[in-house]
Amino acid sequence: MALLDDLRQGVIDGNAPGTTSLVKQALSEGTPAEKILNDGLISAMAEVGRLFEAGEYFVPEMLVAARAMKGGLELLRPALAAANVQAIGKVVIGTVQGDLHDIGKNLVAIMLEGAGFEIVDLGSDVSPQKFVDAVAAHKPQLVGMSALLTTTMPKMKTTLEALNAAGVRGNVKVMIGGAPVTEKYAMDIGADFYAPDASSAATRAKAAVQGR
């Protein structure tokens, strides 16, 4: 469908006004909201993720694509709700306590939302207790933690211990990432998986909730 192709390209190009205009047009022409979401917005963000992994897109390109995607998604929400279209999962995400860096975490949130997840973004400098409270309140399938400093990385383990002590650790998969974080570190502290970048975070998160 040419309109959805144009919409998809609009997101990839970071054309926010064009994207919202095309979403409106698609809705007015009777295109199902779920089709606009999947074939337009989510498909576009998957391509953005591929371009990022290929080293063709960087943070600015991802951010402007995300803005276009979010603008389209806001227009779609009422129609998606009316059609009872569900997110593929819910993620609670934040940068750990003592760490103010949020660009990496924000990129992961963008890619997760672009992959169809509902995001509860706790921001930065998030205490273990705040993660626990958010899991209890929002009942996500996934928890994502980011740290950019070797001195704040240990808070990932502390948060995992807090989730365990609260009796909710078994209810979620925990994903970690950030510059000093490694696959080995994730295994050592008992996280479920590690993602080296925002694009692979979305891929691995999808696999996690879909039981693959």
Distance of CA 136 to the CA centre of its chain: 19
180 near another protein, rule: CB under 8 A: yes
Candidates 212, 211, 147; CA nearest to 185 is: 147
The CB-of-27 to another protein minimum distance in angstroms stands at 25
Tokens of 60: 């600015």
Residue in 3, 85, 88, 149 binding another protein, rule: CB under 8 A:
149
Segment contacting another protein by CB under 8 A, of 34-42, 131-139, 180-188, 189-197: 180-188
Residue in 81, 83, 100, 165 binding another protein, rule: CB under 8 A:
100
Closer residue to another protein, CB minimum distance, 60 or 211: 60
Residue in 150, 183, 207, 210 binding another protein, rule: CB under 8 A:
150
67 near another protein, rule: CB under 8 A: yes
User: To which residue do tokens 């006004």 refer?
Assistant: 17
127 near another protein, rule: CB under 8 A: no
Distance of CA 19 to the CA centre of its chain: 20
Collapsing DSSP to helix, strand or coil, 181 comes out as: coil
Residue in 106, 141, 159, 199 binding another protein, rule: CB under 8 A:
106
Q: Cα–Cα distance between 123 and 199 in angstroms, integer?
A: 19
Tokens of 49: 């993720």
CB 73 within 8 A of CB 81: no
Positions touching another protein (CB under 8 A) are: 14, 55-61, 63-64, 67, 100, 102-103, 106, 149-151, 180, 182, 184
